[in-house]
Amino acid sequence: MVAIPAETRCWSQRPQTMAQTSRDKGAVRAKRGVAAPGQAACSVGTLAARLLASSWYRWPVAEGTKGPIISECARQRVTFCQDGLPERTVWLVLKRTTGGEKA
């Protein structure tokens, strides 16, 4: 597991891509692009905020001085965005920690 910034862009569903061709001084050039412009990538932080309450589950991770330390976890399959194009599809595990709460 690795930590990633909340600003990392992703899609909750892999977008379709299409090849666009153009001519430049007689040479044909191909460029990939997202097929539907309405399928804009969002940040991981935005995706986490949009998750339903039922997507999160509570998990005790350690015993603190004021009681167990509880993490709320969720998982979501996402496709990372790089340069406006889909990259790899992975499981994104989200965690938010609260301290001193009773389980």
| pLDDT tens for each residue of 38-87 | 678 899 999 999 999 999 999 888 888 988 888 899 999 999 998 888 88
103 lies in a domain? no
23 lies in a domain? no
Question: How many domains does the structure of the chain reveal?
Answer: 1
65 lies in a domain? yes
* Predicted pLDDT at 101: 46
Cα 10 from Cα 4, distance rounded (Å)? 12
70 lies in a domain? yes
20 lies in a domain? no
Domain region containing 89: 9-14+29-98
pLDDT range class, residue 98, cuts 50, 70, 90: low
Mean pLDDT, the chain, integer: 82
Percent of the chain with pLDDT over 70: 80
58 lies in a domain? yes
35 lies in a domain? yes
Classified as helix, coil or strand, 47 is: helix
Please list the alpha-helical segments (H only) found in the chain: 44-50
21 lies in a domain? no
